[in-house]
Amino acid sequence: MPWVKNLVAVFTVLCCTTIATKVRADSFDQDVSRVISNEGTIIYLGTGVALPLLLDSKNGKNQSLRALDSLGTSLIVCQGLKAVIDVKRPDSDDRDSFPSCHATLAFTIATMQSEYQPKYALLWYAGASAIAYSRVNLNRHRWTEVLAGAAIGYGIAKLELSQPNGLILFPLIGSDDEGGTVVGLQMSKSF
């Protein structure tokens, strides 16, 4: 798959260019963390949802939907916990620090993609760990908050994978009689 290598090369150049244009010598680690925490997280999550479409023609649509489903579930759980657990951020008076949604979403994608592409699991978890670290390095979260976010993301992804048709998008995720993937609205008739 030479186009995959080209895609990875383009992704690497974009990331390095973005980092290089924003980095100053006086605060290299902070600038890198800002890029990872902002643009890097968007690229990471988008890649985690879109990559199955590019790599797996048979199950790619289903895997992308499942990744999107687990991200949606993770976001709902994370935002719900932030609303209930009123923890002040270390860098401001905002009271929405626990858990880290960046870590939650990153570890959700890492867990989903590690299931679909096990030989790249280390890379997916390294990316999620870099995102989680960037939140602590920028003083947006404490270690306990990113670790809790990572655990929530991992747990929701495992729950997603244990369900035959997903968690939120279950009407869109299914399988046909031969065990193949069916993507579309599922209707059932019972009398």
pLDDT tens-digit profile of 162-191? 988 878 776 666 654 444 444 444 433 333
CB-based contact 109:48 (threshold 8 Å): yes
Average pLDDT, rounded, for the chain: 82
Q: Does residue 75 register a pLDDT over 90?
A: yes
Q: How many domains does the chain have?
A: 1
Does some domain include residue 12?
no
| pLDDT tens-place string over residues 22-60 | 544 448 889 999 999 999 999 999 999 999 988 887 888
SS3 183: strand
Does some domain include residue 166?
yes
Q: Which residue has the higher pLDDT, 62 or 106?
A: 106
Host domain of residue 154: 30-171
Q: What is the pLDDT of residue 76?
A: 95
CB-based contact 99:81 (threshold 8 Å): yes
Q: Does residue 146 register a pLDDT over 50?
A: yes
Task: Give the residue-averaged pLDDT of 118-145.
Answer: 96
The token duo for 99 is 């858990």
Q: What is the pLDDT of residue 27?
A: 83
How far is CA 148 from its chain centroid? 15
* pTM of the predicted model as reported, rounded to 2 decimal places: 0.78
Length of the chain: 191
Does some domain include residue 122?
yes
Q: What is the pLDDT of residue 58?
A: 82
Does some domain include residue 143?
yes
Does some domain include residue 34?
yes
With the CA atoms of 66, 72, 75 and 81 taken in that order, what torsion angle do they form, in degrees rounded to the nearest 10?
Answer: -100
Distances (CA, A) of 167 to 3, 50, 70, 126, 153: 33, 19, 7, 26, 14
* 137 closest CA partner among 78, 79, 91, 74: 91
Does some domain include residue 182?
no
Q: Does residue 160 register a pLDDT over 80?
A: yes
